[in-house]
């Protein structure tokens, strides 16, 4: 039987779900959580000043033990998510904390398995990169490209190696011991960070504790964005923070796209004109470059059907990366109806809160 949170005196895990305008996905997330088995847990939904039906949906699960709390006023210099998860952590009773987003779906047995995996590896913190669900053309095009770049920049083998300084996590699934979380100051210590998952992982690893990071498609899945507007704003917030040289990387991916498309076009045109030697040479070049591209994309764990759309994701990735870099250089980014002052150093580390965050009321449609 599911380990329903109702009447659990002392949960082993406190599942904390920050939610701001998540009416389209919160219900499915909570249903998947409440179906988990083999471990005692509680579920805490933190309503982060939602303007839609988020709180009502969360409250409808109260009879099954879900607790709904308010995030509280947003302090100056804090991001909304850091404020919300901090409120959830204060209310949590478990020896382990699972921070997960409202757009996630948790597969049967995943919580018990992740807890056992963390313990067996002696990890104080475990993070999964969920399986990405993509449906629209824009999602299929750009998401594999982005996650392929992330896989290359944040190699799980290095992140999970205690002898390596590399640190990373995916905020959609972070399981951490209460002891480690409190020892590094929790999200309050990285209050202004727009990359709170990476900043928290870095703090845990620098404390001498072990972290474990891997692709977690066997445990959790997510659809991050449902419209192009959501996708653009979401990646503008943090894409430039994830890579050390955004302009250089954007140029490389744009050149890669031009090289593949132009060599293919030249090969076809030459063949139609009967110029077989240049046609064969350019066709070979096209195949080699495209094969290298596909090899890199496969590391992102997307279905093979995403390979062709991902080609057109290369210029889109360059655009989003440059847009993100421009907004951060300008010093302001938007996220879920709020404006945040930003520069790359503090946005990454969150060590020094910036100027007051301004909340724009009345924006009820937000991203996952």
Sign of CA dihedral 200, 205, 206, 208: positive
Centroid of chain to Cα 88: 19
Non-local (6+) Cβ contacts of 78 within 8 A are 191, 192, 353, 357
pLDDT score for 362: 32
Q: In what order do the strands lie in the sheet with 338-341?
A: 332-335, 338-341, 358-359
Write down the domain spans for the chain.
13-227, 246-359
Rounded Cα gap, residues 232 and 250, in angstroms: 15
pLDDT digits 0-9 by tens, 245-299: 999 999 999 999 999 999 999 999 999 888 889 899 999 999 999 999 999 998 8
pLDDT digits 0-9 by tens, 285-316: 999 999 999 999 988 888 877 678 999 999 99
pLDDT digits 0-9 by tens, 220-233: 999 999 999 999 99
Concatenate the DSSP letters of all residues of 155-199 into one string.
-HHHHT-TTS------TTEEEEEHHHHHHTTGGGGGTT-SSHHHH
pLDDT score for 368: 33
pTM: 0.89
Domain at 13-227, CATH homologous superfamily:
Spore Coat Polysaccharide Biosynthesis Protein SpsA; Chain A (3.90.550.10)
């Amino acid at each position: 039987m599911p380990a329903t949170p109702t009447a659990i005196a002392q949960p082993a895990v406190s599942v904390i779900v920050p939610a701001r305008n998540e009416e389209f996905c919160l219900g499915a997330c909570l249903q998947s959580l409440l179906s988990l088995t083999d471990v005692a847990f509680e579920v805490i939904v933190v309503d982060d000043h939602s303007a839609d039906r988020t709180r009502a949906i969360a409250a409808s699960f109260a009879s099954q033990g879900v607790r709904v709390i308010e995030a509280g006023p947003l302090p100056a210099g804090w991001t909304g998510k850091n404020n919300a998860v901090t409120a959830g952590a204060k209310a949590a009773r478990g020896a382990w904390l699972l921070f997960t987003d409202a757009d996630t779906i948790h597969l049967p047995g995943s919580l018990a398995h992740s807890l056992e995996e963390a313990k067996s590896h002696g990890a104080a913190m475990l993070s999964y990169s969920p399986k990405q669900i993509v449906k629209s053309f824009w999602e299929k095009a750009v998401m594999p490209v982005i996650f392929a770049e992330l896989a290359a920049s944040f190699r799980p083998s290095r992140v999970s190696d205690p002898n390596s300084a590399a640190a990373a996590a995916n905020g959609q699934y972070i399981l951490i011991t209460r002891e480690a979380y409190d020892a590094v100051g929790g999200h309050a210590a990285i209050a202004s960070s727009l990359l709170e998952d990476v900043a928290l992982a870095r703090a845990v690893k620098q404390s001498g504790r072990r972290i474990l990071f891997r692709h977690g498609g066997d445990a959790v899945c997510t659809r991050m964005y449902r419209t192009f507007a959501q996708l653009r704003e979401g990646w503008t917030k943090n894409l430039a923070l994830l890579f050390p040289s955004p302009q250089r990387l954007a140029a490389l991916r744009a050149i890669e796209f031009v090289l593949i498309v132009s060599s293919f076009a030249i090969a076809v045109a030459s063949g139609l004109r009967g110029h077989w030697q240049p046609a064969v040479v350019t066709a070979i070049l096209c195949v080699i470059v495209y094969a290298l591209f596909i090899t890199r994309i496969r590391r992102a764990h997307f279905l093979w059907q995403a390979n062709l759309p991902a080609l057109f994701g290369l210029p889109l990735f360059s655009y989003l990366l440059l847009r993100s870099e421009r907004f951060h250089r300008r010093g302001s980014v938007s996220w879920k109806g709020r404006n945040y002052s930003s520069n790359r150093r503090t946005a990454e580390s969150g060590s020094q809160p910036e100027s007051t965050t301004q909340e724009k009321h009345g924006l009820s449609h937000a991203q996952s």
